[in-house]
Amino acid sequence: MQIMNHDAAPFLDASKLLGDPAALRTLAVRDGYLFFRGLLPAADVLRVRRDELAVVERYGWRAAGQDSLGGGLNIDALNAVPEAQMRTDIGVSIVAYHDVQRLESMHRLPHHPRLLEVYRALFGSEVLVHPRHIARMITPHPCMVPTPPHQDFPLIQGTANTWTAWIPLGDCPRELGALTVCRRSHESGYIPVVHAPGAGGIAAQLCPQEQDWVAGDFAIGDVLTFPSLTVHRALPCQFRDQIRLSLDVRYQSVDEAVEAKSLLPHCALTWAEIYTRWHNVELQYYWHRLPLQMSPWDETLLQPKRRIC
């Protein structure tokens, strides 16, 4: 179903509340998401975009005749990659994703002071930035399908007060596959899941009265953030020759529990392998210096169970 959400309500820009933590928390509790227009400097975002596209270029998947920030693809070269070699939750091959996970710039952006300012205001405490950053590199490879409606909580667990920041690495109109959220869906708590194709492999079973979607076109520097019980999904990409680059980053209070997998790389590499060519050691193993509480993994949260609306 090609749902573009052009009839959805627009995101409410919360930028004017950045100096008022109480008002920011009130809005977050009410709507289950916050959207900030131009939160991050464009130059800092584009640095990561350029580095990721250099990886795409290295594997021969970028179209010729564009500058270092262009996201045009050589579709024939990309589609020649067998599905067995692809990260179907990411959009590129397994080995290419390893190269992206080695990028120091990709791991540094989530620690930007403007982002930490938001989460200190929300949590009223120091912030744990989960090191398990996900670089979505959505392509039109035949194995790819849009991410279905889901909550992050069953996939990351730990505290339900973990927030996801969705950061597009460049302009991202709805037609390029932008993210959309179901406003106030966090009020339902954990929602039972069913198996579904796409990143995460699950879908939340929404009731008809819960279908209150908000959406919008993103510009460089915009950030969408929401707690792990808010339902969200990716819109289908309407461009068959473009890559959509974005980051999924998680934040929580250092005073609440975290599940162990949130501290592991989002690939088969070890942290030592990821850090091999880094110039700065400041962000290496930074969570080891924090007094973290750990929580157990609950596999039952990912098991399908019928929901009665």
Concatenating the DSSP letter of every residue in 142-205 gives: TT--PPPSB-SHHHH-S-TT-EEEEEESS-B-GGGT-EEEETTGGGG-S--EEE-SSTTSEEE-
Tell me the three-class secondary structure of 203-239, residue by residue: EECCCHHHCCEEECCECCCCEEEEECCCCEEECCCCC
Q: Which two tokens stand for residue 256?
A: 């609440």
Calculated CA dihedral for residues 13, 132, 211, 171, nearest 10 degrees: 50
Question: Nearest Cα to 15, choosing from 223, 174, 228?
Answer: 223
Task: Say if 277 falls within a structural domain.
Answer: no
Task: Say if 216 falls within a structural domain.
Answer: yes
pLDDT tens over the chain, length 309 residues: 344 455 789 999 999 999 999 999 999 999 999 999 999 999 999 999 999 999 999 999 999 999 999 999 999 999 999 999 999 999 999 999 999 999 999 999 999 999 999 999 999 999 999 999 999 999 999 999 999 999 999 999 999 999 999 999 999 999 999 999 999 999 999 999 999 999 999 999 999 888 899 999 999 999 999 999 999 999 999 998 999 999 999 999 999 999 999 999 999 999 999 999 999 899 999 999 999 999 999 999 999 999 988
Integer Cα distance of 305 and 297 in angstroms: 18
43's enclosing H/E stretch is: helix 42-58
Calculated CA dihedral for residues 107, 49, 34, 11, nearest 10 degrees: -170
Task: Say if 147 falls within a structural domain.
Answer: yes
Q: Amino acid identity of 200?
A: G
**What is the per-residue pLDDT for 209?**
85
Q: Residues for the chain: how many in total?
A: 309
Task: Say if 275 falls within a structural domain.
Answer: no
Integer Cα distance of 5 and 13 in angstroms: 18
Q: Which residues pair with 252 in a beta bridge?
A: 128
Q: Residue 173: give the domain boundaries.
A: 11-264
CATH of the domain at 73: 2.60.120.620
Domain count, the chain: 1
Phi, psi of 160 (to 5 degrees): -70, -10
Task: Say if 278 falls within a structural domain.
Answer: no
Task: Say if 2 falls within a structural domain.
Answer: no
Q: Amino acid identity of 24?
A: L
Indicate the SS3 state at residue 264. coil
Integer Cα distance of 272 and 37 in angstroms: 36
Q: What is the Cα 232 distance to its own chain's centre?
A: 10
51's enclosing H/E stretch is: helix 42-58
Question: Nearest Cα to 216, choosing from 2, 3, 6, 38?
Answer: 6
**What is the per-residue pLDDT for 17?**
98
Task: Say if 296 falls within a structural domain.
Answer: no
For residues 138 and 243, the answer to whether their CB atoms sit within 8 Å is yes
Task: Say if 291 falls within a structural domain.
Answer: no
For the chain, percent helix, then strand, then coil, each to nearest 5?
30, 20, 50
**What is the per-residue pLDDT for 1?**
35
